[in-house]
Amino acid sequence: MIALIQRVNWAEVTVNAQSIGKIQHGILALMAVEKGDTEASTQKMIDKIINYRIFSDEQGKMNLSLLDMQGELLLVSQFTLLANTDKGRRPSFSDSPDPAMSEALFEYSIGYAKTLVNKVEQGQFAADMKVSLENDGPVTFWLKV
């Protein structure tokens, strides 16, 4: 599983000009399920995201996690993180997993996150989404489990 996480002041995802997920101070996580991922690897990724220390403490050092600062989480499925860009000028997605498996694990990640974080919002799997955000920092990390 791959996640691109961004520390945000706010983030929102819309589908057909309708807001379907919106958070304030927290993490926007763009996530891609890889072949071989399981519920266990999904749990490991969510645990990593919510415990990753990317928020500033009183001394201005990145020492606090999303859980420490009781922030909000927006999860958005983004299969393009799996693109193979080694050759040519067009990304290849031939190594991407079955969409049904990806959707099931993405939905599982949302359910699991909701057991740990006070506010979890989500995008819509396989939809044409528009994501707006104010990146805080900017602070962005690429995570893999």
Task: Summarize pLDDT for 16-27 with one digit per residue, the tens.
Answer: 999 999 999 999
Q: Between the CA of residue 118 and those of 19, 65, 96, 130, 135, what are the distances in Å?
A: 20, 14, 32, 24, 21
Angstrom distance (rounded) from CA 128 to CA 13: 10
Q: Provide the pLDDT for residue 96.
A: 85
Residue 49 phi, psi dihedral angles, 5° rounding = -60, -50
CATH 3.40.640.10 fits 2-144, yes or no: no
Q: Positive or negative CA dihedral for 118, 120, 121, 124? A: negative
Confidence at residue 94, expressed as pLDDT on a 0 to 100 scale: 82
Closest CA to 28 of 130, 120, 125: 120
For residue 95, the model assigns a pLDDT of: 77
Residue ranges per structural domain of the chain: 2-144
Tokens of 62: 């990145």
| pLDDT at position 19 | 98
Q: Where in the sequence numbering do the catalytic residues fall?
A: 78-80
CA distance 55 to 62: 5
Alpha helices in the chain (DSSP H): 39-51, 99-114
Low-confidence ranges of the chain (pLDDT < 70): none
